[in-house]
Amino acid sequence: QVQLVESGGGLVQAGGSLRLSCAVSGSIFSFNPFAWYRQAPGKRRELVATITSGGNTNYADSVKGRFTISRDNNKNTVYLQINSLRPEDTAVYYCNGQYHGMYDYWGQGTQVTVSS
């Protein structure tokens, strides 16, 4: 069964860092692209970063220079490194993968809370 499972969220002070992980059950090569989204309370889910099978990345303007998406094909895992955290980064972060480029799979989400 194909699943995406996030981990790595937590409570951190402003200016701190976290690394979120998205473990892929099944083959990571069955998905293209992967993406991280986030949803803050009372707000719509927003796209944060994407990475293709070829390693091409894109970021939302609000996170450029602070967030880095990457993938480790050997570990079947996609990462989101988050630096210089701000209170406005507080949200549930979701991993998304497009299975064979067609079907959306989502993880259960991991909470990131940034205190000021």
Q: How far apart are CA 37 and CA 60, in angstroms?
A: 10
Left, alpha or beta for 66 (phi > 0: left; psi -120 to 50: alpha)?
Answer: alpha
Per-residue model confidence (pLDDT) at position 26? 85
What does the pLDDT look like over 56-82, one tens digit per residue? 999 999 999 999 999 999 999 999 999
60: which 2 tokens? 């939302």
pLDDT tens for each residue of the chain, 116 residues long: 889 999 999 999 999 999 999 999 989 999 999 999 999 999 999 999 999 999 999 999 999 999 999 999 999 999 999 999 999 999 999 999 999 988 999 999 999 999 99
CB 32 within 8 A of CB 41: no
